Amino acid sequence: MIVVTGGAGFIGSALVWKLNQRGIDDIVIVDRLGSAEKWRNLVALRYSMFYEKYEFLDKLESGFFGDSIDTIFHLGACSATTEKDADYLMNNNIHYTIRIGTWWENHQDTRLIYASSAATYGDGEKGYKDDISGLDDLRPLNMYGYSKHFFDLYARRKGWLKKIVGLKFFNVFGPNEYHKNSMRSVINKAWPDVRDSGKISLFKSYNPLYADGDQLRDFIYIKDALEMTLFFFDNRNTGGIFNIGTGKAQTWNDCAKAIFSATGKKPLIEYISMPEELKGKYQYFTQADLQHLRQAGCNHNCMPLNDAVADYVQNYLIPQRYLGD
């Protein structure tokens, strides 16, 4: 049995889709659906059971599953970088994950892979190297990033990172992110404007080192992120924290032009003011250092940005499809 927490979310549901492609469907999905449209991500997937997140945790800790769990992909969390309720993030992102880790201590035949985040790197002043010895130097810019950083530190202190894997996802985009509201990728958010008015809005730069739209991000397509994630499913003796990105930073302007290219439209970009609450917490440059990942043996080469955006726009956004449809 494989457990995917956050399995109705963006990366989680995409992972279930990818496991289904491998012929795997003995999957327990754990999530909280609420009143959003997240449930739509589940419709085309094959899985054996769904549990609300605390119902699952109660069953896990009570011994309900026995020794039947082969792997837990713990991808469930509040991923909103703008979330201000620090107590909620402490409980949802940290304490919940610690309880899963504590269960794993007594069930180490189970593979545990959890989602960390590139948000732990803060403004990037200390670089983007996923060496656990450098964790103490990192200064996240928001509470979401700190919640992920806290657990990375906790797992290191407990010695868990010798056997479990934390994945620092960079800017992942692709199908099944439709429900994420303000946390959707710019590609998803911009698509209706490109379709209807042929225009994209990007934030102005407030850093003199970067022109408007030339802020840099490591954009990684969900299909590439899944290949890297499943490397650790297939290679069970590897532990540690690993970056999940392309290793190549590109500008928001590059991203916008890729959307126009995918639709055959002439680029028209306007630059708008950044919300005040984001100005002091904005990352102007992110780029995954992939040396550790390569040393572990993962040599997956990511799709070029133009090709990835074209696949997303033409095969999912235009026909309004989900993975598996």
- Residues annotated as catalytic are 144, 180
- Decide: 220 and 171 in contact? Cβ < 8 Å: yes
207 Cβ neighbours under 8 A, 6+ residues apart: 215, 284
Sheet holding 165-169, edge to edge: 49-52, 27-31, 2-5, 71-74, 111-115, 165-169, 240-244
Cα–Cα distance for residue pair 230/18, rounded to 1 Å: 9
Please state whether beta strands 165-169 and 216-217 pair in parallel, antiparallel, or not at all (unpaired): unpaired
Phi-psi region of 66 (alpha: psi -120 to 50; beta: other; left: phi over 0): left
Cα–Cα distance for residue pair 31/309, rounded to 1 Å: 28
Phi-psi region of 71 (alpha: psi -120 to 50; beta: other; left: phi over 0): beta
Transcribe 86-132 into DSSP letters. Answer: HHHHIIIIIIHHHHHHHHHHT-TTSEEEEE--GGGGTTSTT-----G
Instruction: Please give the angle made by the CA atoms of 51, 57 and 59, to the nearest 5 degrees.
Output: 75
Cα separations in angstroms, 93 against 11, 17, 148, 156: 16, 24, 7, 16
- Decide: 188 and 268 in contact? Cβ < 8 Å: no
Cα–Cα distance for residue pair 149/167, rounded to 1 Å: 12
